[in-house]
Amino acid sequence: MKTIIFTFLIVLFAGCSTTQFHTGWERTKQASYNAATDYVTWVPAAASAALYATDYDTDITNYFRDHPWFGEEDDEFYRGLNHYETLTTAFLVDNSDYAQTWKRVLVEFTGLETTKQTSSFLEKNIRKKSPDGTHNGSIGSHHALDHFASSAMNRRNVEHLDIPEWGKYTLNTISYTSASASALCRVQDGGHSFADQLVSASIGNFMGLFLHDLFMLDSTTNIAVSVNDGEAKVHIGFRY
């Protein structure tokens, strides 16, 4: 986790020359603001705080454990649907510069890997017993954090698709529904409480929007191919 954070800091500041540093810092603040004020970030965060302050979290969690909405086999389907939709929309964005498409895919892939490491970090370092009592990493769920991050980045992709508004609404609904279903599957099996999943959903949405906006808005991408001694290398660089 420390290595990933350090790497992102290097990319963040090494990509900015002295004259570009201010622009990079402004972009970071804007990306943070966009992510923090997004309703899919603050609504779950506020709801989880309210549930933790009452006994309703236990009641809701027990309800879903006693009355499951999904079968065990449904989890893999919803997880796959969520990630594949994000990948598909990344390639469907119409960019005149093909390098921007590959940059989008690279940013989103790296973002998802970062959220996975964040989930693991939270599970290991925030000690909260799961409802079924099998582990102490109830905060930080891959099923919620990773997939809500994926849905957030998918939403940014969909914004750039040349399709009717109802089509964009449908794609976003499918993405967030699949993320919610995957998160709820872990509530059903007792791995996390309902409020725990709301926390992870909030963090995931924030990270997805923040990383996407930080690297994708008004940036320059360069891709170069070099061949030396029969070995081809692809060099990708981007400035923000």
pLDDT in tens, 17-31: 433 444 567 888 889
Query: Residues 67-123: pLDDT tens digits?
Result: 888 877 777 888 889 989 999 998 888 766 667 788 888 888 888 888 888 888 887
- Which of the residue ranges 125-129, 175-179, 180-184, 200-204 would you say has the lowest mean pLDDT? 125-129
* pLDDT exceeds 80 at position 231: no
d(CA 186, CA 144): 9
Domains of the chain, by residue range, sit at 40-221
Handedness of CA 67, 70, 73, 79 (dihedral sign): negative
Q: pTM, whole model, 2 decimals? A: 0.78
In the block, which residue shows the tokens 């449904």? Answer: 74
